[in-house]
Structure 1
């Protein structure tokens, strides 16, 4: 299989092998264009990235005056643009080319992908549209019209290009792009969120935080998400402690007056991630909240070990009609060394009628502190379930308990796919042997 065939087949691993063996990354395909253009047209970000990393030129001028990078921008996939953008675009690209890319993204974003396709193709019939996953985390609308395809991710592309070229777009404009589609998983939402998390300055911080009093809940939710990402990426900042203090100050006051369920739930999650000192009291106040999304965040606020009031609240939540609430309660109980009453509650959750509850309960229990015979035998029984992930958690639970049935348990788990390559549970048998076998 040559490079052209590997690109056409979407085989990124084979593409890398061929490039390492000396294949020309700018090899022309059957249409006479570099194979990078074929990857861009196929929305294959992994293959496109492999080609660019292997030396393909994203800035090469094509017969129609475009470049592979410009074609990626027109195509509307932020994932593909990110793969093709290459290193140091601000330094690599002349100012005129940077402006052309930005103008293209602005035009498509302003008109909308369908309208721009109509202008380019002259097609008058109905467009075919559907939502596709653009990368692992976000989705976007894909439109087919007049023989051409485009994705409607130009807002995210514009946001990413501005940041790559160190153009600081107004915070209000980035927020407008984020909420335009009303979808938290849309690529525009994710792009604005990421850029505002990367833009570490007191000015940007103040502008973002000002919108936490916006009259509409969606902008407030966006701000809550940005603050949550600030906490997760705090190590990137030179002023971590300042951001921590300011974040807690804002979140602590905001949570007391927020009335929208989705926003309040996100605030509680952020405070749980921050290990907010007032978290347990906050959890008790919201344990009976009418919105299940809020109740799902309550167990995470209590921390471990559970005090008597928190344990009572978690027991109540374990009987909640919402499966997500019961799953959160299971995670809290699973980490504890339990008394008889709480152990009975956890055992019931391990056999809940909802698969989500069982999956999270067995995962938490496997790593948890309760090493009682009742819990151990419950893990053994779960080796007979159809769900591979549950069997793996159960086997891992036996391994960390140094149970002699561990080798048999991992045999019952069966073969694991590549998604488990870095999963600590997959190494449980090896670690058990190190501890328990003479030749370990």
Structure 2
């Protein structure tokens, strides 16, 4: 028997943005198409608030995205107009096929194309806002209302849901309007090509973009090729050998620094090529820091080649913090007790850049070099503002069985949200419990 007042409580939960409560009430029997005080289904309220989590719960619970509204629109059309790919995907319950059949799909696609052209032509101020955990989108004013300009990503995803194979170059054109890997238009085009449309034909068309006159199109192609490897699941072809050989040639030919950096990163991601170390070494003195920062992963190996080791020891002294951090991260994976590697990581633990110090703390704390200098470097990180660095430093001291561990543990302070499951915090918690209960021992 359903609880009394479920629908009224559902209205309140949607207004409050409480997705967990929305789910609970729907499971208890609340009607997913319950109307708000304005007579519109609650899905419209979640869409208007850009609340993708609540919209998803309502859609998964049975709310109809194609329900005809008094003004002739539907919740889905309102989501498309709003311009948030995350909200559109949530409104479709992350499964567009069943909800885009027939006239509803035709209307949705036409609306997405229309709004894409309008947002492209719009002038005026734009504000960057997050659209989901990993991507951002611009907000702008159209016809007196604020919308998000993610219509390119929406169009890309609707086309795929309707079985339309948009030409690769057209998807690239959409992506490079915002030449940033974290923009929704760029990330959606990459996702469709690298994850959903894997085929020899797609790979060939993406590979052909390396000859495109525009550097951003070439950088987009490198990102797709990189993502083919990262998203490989063993069920569909990854074209790993073809990609590695292509990137090997491309890395020696590319003249644009940003594209070259993207090519080197794509190549060093899970690829094993006999020319990779030599190619990486040729760029250790490149004038662009982004290129130099891509070198360490190219020259990494087991064992580490002598010339690669020498290059990394030079790069950890680079003027650019990103280069130092990248080189230190690779070099720290070979913390084998040799004084030169140890001294390099200890020096990076005192680096003026917070991110570099964080990297050094991780490498020193996880490594098997238990020299006194390493413990001293970790102890020097106990005053870091970022709590996770203090946790990492204390964990490293614990692994060294260092007498400063109790003080380090105390200096972590009250645990901030998000670190409860960190393996280093858990190990420290076990250490503290054993210490309080008189059981000596160190947890690795």
Kindly indicate whether the alpha-carbon contact (under 8 Å) linking 1:144 and 1:150 is maintained by their aligned counterparts in 2: yes
CA contact (8 A) 1:113 1:150 kept: no
Equivalent residue, structure 1, for 2:310:
312
- For the 8 Å contact 1:383–1:395, the answer to whether it is kept is yes
Equivalent in the alignment of 2:162: 165
The one of 208, 213, 231 aligned to 1:210: 208
Q: CA deviation at 1:55?
A: 2.7
Change (3 A) 1:344 1:26: same
Contact 2:382/2:393 (<8 A) preserved: yes
Q: CA deviation at 1:182?
A: 3.2
Alignment of structure 1 residues 65-76 onto 2, 5 Å: 65-76=72-83
Classify the secondary structure of the residue corresponding to 1:70: helix
Shift >6 Å, 4+ stretches = 433-436
Contact map agreement 1:391 1:413 (CA 8 A) in 2: yes
Distance 1:289 1:112 in 2: 39
Pairing of 1:10-409 with structure 2 (within 5 A): 10-86=17-93, 88-112=95-119, 129-197=126-194, 198-240=196-238, 243-277=239-273, 278-303=275-300, 304-335=302-333, 336-401=335-400, 403=402, 406=405, 409=408
Matched with 1:119 is none
- Counterpart-to-counterpart distance in 2, 1:421 and 1:156: 35
SS class of match (2:137): strand
8 Å Cα contact 1:143/1:150 also seen in 2 = yes
Alpha-carbon distance change, 91 to 53 in structure 1, aligned in 2, over 3 angstroms? closer
In the aligned structure 2, how far is the partner of 1:424 from the partner of 1:250?
39
* Aligned Cα root-mean-square deviation (Å): 2.5
CA contact (8 A) 1:337 1:371 kept: no
Correspondence for 1:122 = none
Any conservation in 1 of the 2:296–2:330 contact (CA below 8 Å)?
Answer: yes
Give the count of matched residue pairs. 428
Cα 1:168–1:353, aligned 2, differ >3 Å: closer, same or farther? same
Q: C-alpha distance in 2, partners of 1:431/1:248? A: 44
Measured in 2, the distance between the counterparts of 1:137 and 1:179 equals: 18
Q: Structure 1, residues 14-53: CA drift from partner, whole Å, max 9, x if none?
A: 3233333433322211211111111101111112112222
TM-score after normalising by structure 2: 0.89
1:19 and 1:414, CA in 2 relative to 1: closer, same or farther beyond 3 A?
farther
Q: CA deviation at 1:113?
A: 6.3
For the residues of structure 2 that align with 1:346 and 1:289, how far apart are their CA atoms? 23
CA distance, structure 2, for counterparts of residue 209 and residue 323 of structure 1? 32
Q: Is the 8 A contact 1:77 1:153 kept in 2?
A: yes
CA distance in 2, matches of 1:400, 1:161: 52
For each residue in 1:33-79, what CA deviation from the matched residue of structure 2 results, as whole angstroms up to 9, or x when unmatched? Answer: 11111110111111211222233222222112221111101111101
**Deviation of residue 391 (structure 1)?**
0.7
Which blocks of at least 5 consecutive residues in structure 2 are unaligned? 1-7
Unaligned runs of 5+ in 1: 116-125
Instruction: Please say if residues 66 and 104 of structure 2, whose CA atoms lie closer than 8 Å, have aligned partners that are also in contact.
Output: no
**Cα distance in 1, alignment partners of residues 420 and 61 from structure 2:** 25
Shift of 1:276: 2.7
Task: State the alpha-carbon separation in 1 of the partners of residues 252 and 130 from structure 2.
Answer: 36
